[in-house]
Structure 1
Amino acid sequence: MIKILVISLTLSLHLFLIVTATDIRINWLQNYYYSSDRVLTLWGSLEVEDIEILAAYNDSRLIVFKQSWSNGNLSNTDWMFFNMFLGSFIYYFHIHIDELNKELGHKGAFTTQCMAICPSSTDNPAGYAFKIAVEGEDLVHLNVTEGVWVAGDYPQSEAVQKHLQNDTVTLVSIENMLKNQCHAMATTYSTAGKEALSRKIQPQVYITEKVEKAETEVICMATGFYPKPINVSFWKENIMEDVMSTVTLPNGDGTYQITVLTITNSIESVYCRVEHSSFKEPLIVHLDKRHQMSRGLGIYISVASVVGLACLLKYYKSRRRYTSMAGTTMERLSLRRIDGRA
């Protein structure tokens, strides 16, 4: 099964040509849902930074272009070949999926994911990654720098790690795919999507407080920004505070928003720090009357953000244990379970 995943990625990425480009990151995620009655469903996507470029679905067995520049420099014939390969791959994957089912001891339906990440710049060796997950939990990942497999937290992770470590053919194939074909894809799209990728919109930042007994909830919201990566944190007297944060959510106009909350005993010297590629320097917003969130702003915040923040606050208070989330929206790399189908 693992080899099937590798062959799929290697052949698909091989279609792209190398061109000059600025440094970007490619994320290629494939999801496989295997039902209890042996029905396989595939869906996947390819993203350049936060922009979805391609999508693939099991039902149509066709590549869907998500951007006007998604075809890169490939001809219609190239894409026809790729679609033919995708159909063939799904057929053979269906044959071999039973091996994965037996090896991991799964009974009933389950989902597995495979993610490949690479930068367009060869000067960033730490930017390469290859991960495999089952039911949203890390099964194994490849330490590309050292060329070794690392077990995750899944019950069968160690067994799979040992198996893959002894499979030099698979290891070489993945390393070649990441550093050659995947890199070629990244450089191709960094040129084809140069205009979209270079777009930068500064966030609007608002800060407000809510006093509850001896504690004060302080909320910082950044909205209307692009691109998606952003880091919002709370500080007090030059010390970073523990926070809870919603995920970065899309607005209806192609921009994004994020809301971060902290609880403090004193609001004196508390400020929100926002780091975004549209800023030359981090933006500092202090908690004072000039920057407090107006009542009318609540209309602008999406329902998803409000619900997400309410859930975070409930969890935050019930645990009474603060977990720092600062910086995770900028750098964290993880595989999460995808419950819905494309």
Structure 2
Amino acid sequence: MIKILIMSLTLSLHLFLIATATDIRINWLQNYYYSSDRVLTLWGSLVVEDIEILAAYNDSRFIVFKQSWSKGNLSNTDWMFFNMFLGSFFYYFQLHIDDISEELEIKGAFITQCVAICPSSTDNPAGYAFKIALEGEDLVHLNVTEGVWVAGDYPYSEAVQKHLQKDKVTLVSIENMLKNQCHAMATKYSTAGKEALSRKIQPQVYITKKVDKAETEVICMVTGFYPKPINVSLWKEKKIEDVMSTVTLPNGDGTYQITVLTITNLIEQESIYCQVEHSSLKEPIIVHLG
């Protein structure tokens, strides 16, 4: 299973090779659903910083370029070859996962995830990572600095760790992929998407209220901003209110949104406001209720 995965990752990295310095990080995530009747389904994505640039849905042969610049310098011949390889990879991966699930006596349906994390700098081996999870739990991960597999807390972790540690060829392949090729891939995409990666879009801020008996629910919605990091707070009479918040969610256009709310018994709405701090702003946005 792991050998086939490495072949896929290695080929992907070779196709996007270039040598220009930059400072970004990429995540290559693959999810595999193995049904109880032994049918394998794949979906996944490749993310540069916080921008999803490639996605695979249901079958490894169907790759979608999520950004206009994400195909880079791939020729049609390269892409045809890549698709042919992914088809065979999908077939052989299923054979490997059959063997391992039988060896470990894993019954029923399950999901496994594989992720490679690659920073642009080659000077920090600890910044590179290769992780494998089962049902969302840490199964094993590679200690790149020491070149050893480390078991997680999942019931199958120790068995998988021992299995992988014996396979020196796979270990060397992963280390080479992380240390030698990830930097070139990250640099390629940083160059191809330089404008997209460095863009800054100011947030739109909306504040509303919902009155219920003696309490007032104050809601601040912030949307349309990029990049992702943002600080949103609700204030009442120059004091920060305790708030509940959603996670920062993606919009369909590549920007983000977040909503925060608080419960207050103060009805004088002119004293309540939402404050937003973001890298696209020279100073915070302040929007008063009403």
Amino acid at match of 2:79: W
Amino acid at match of 1:107: K
| Matched residue, 1:106 | 106
Is the CA contact 1:46–1:53 (under 8 Å) kept in the aligned structure 2? yes
Structure 2 CA distance for partners of 1:276 and 1:91, relative to 1, 3 Å: same
Question: Which secondary structure state, in structure 1, belongs to the residue aligned with residue 149 of structure 2?
Answer: strand
Q: Distance in 1 between matches of 2:165 and 2:262?
A: 44
Deviation at 1:114, TM superposition (A): 0.8
| Matched residue, 1:323 | none
% same residue:
87
Q: Distance in 2 between matches of 1:207 and 1:148?
A: 52
Deviation at 1:273, TM superposition (A): 6.9
Is the CA contact 2:277–2:285 (under 8 Å) kept in the aligned structure 1? no
| Matched residue, 1:55 | 55
* Deviation per residue, 1:111-150 (Å, 9 max, x gap): 1111112122335555422221112222122333444433
| Matched residue, 1:69 | 69
Q: Distance in 1 between matches of 2:229 and 2:157?
A: 30
Deviation at 1:244, TM superposition (A): 4.4
| Matched residue, 2:131 | 131
TM-score (norm 2): 0.80
Is the CA contact 1:120–1:190 (under 8 Å) kept in the aligned structure 2? no
Structure 2 CA distance for partners of 1:91 and 1:248, relative to 1, 3 Å: same
Structure 2 CA distance for partners of 1:61 and 1:254, relative to 1, 3 Å: closer
| Matched residue, 1:5 | 5
Is the CA contact 1:73–1:188 (under 8 Å) kept in the aligned structure 2? no
Q: Distance in 2 between matches of 1:14 and 1:280?
A: 41
| Matched residue, 1:246 | 246
Deviation at 1:51, TM superposition (A): 2.4
Is the CA contact 1:113–1:136 (under 8 Å) kept in the aligned structure 2? yes
Q: Which has the higher strand share?
A: 2
Structure 2 CA distance for partners of 1:86 and 1:240, relative to 1, 3 Å: farther
Structure 2 CA distance for partners of 1:2 and 1:254, relative to 1, 3 Å: closer
* Deviation per residue, 1:11-66 (Å, 9 max, x gap): 32222212314322212111211112221122222122232222234547243323
Structure 2 CA distance for partners of 1:78 and 1:231, relative to 1, 3 Å: farther
| Matched residue, 1:39 | 39
TM-score (norm 1): 0.69
Structure 2 CA distance for partners of 1:86 and 1:60, relative to 1, 3 Å: closer
* Deviation per residue, 1:190-247 (Å, 9 max, x gap): 11111221211122345677798999866554322012344556799xx999764322
Q: Distance in 2 between matches of 1:154 and 1:91?
A: 27
Is the CA contact 1:271–1:284 (under 8 Å) kept in the aligned structure 2? no
Q: Distance in 2 between matches of 1:155 and 1:128?
A: 26
Question: Which secondary structure state, in structure 2, belongs to the residue aligned with residue 133 of structure 1?
Answer: strand
Gap runs ≥5 in structure 1: 295-342
| Matched residue, 2:183 | 183
| Matched residue, 1:195 | 195
Q: Distance in 1 between matches of 2:103 and 2:146?
A: 26
Is the CA contact 1:33–1:40 (under 8 Å) kept in the aligned structure 2? yes
Structure 2 CA distance for partners of 1:65 and 1:264, relative to 1, 3 Å: same
Q: How many residues align?
A: 287
Is the CA contact 1:19–1:191 (under 8 Å) kept in the aligned structure 2? no
Q: Distance in 2 between matches of 1:17 and 1:206?
A: 44
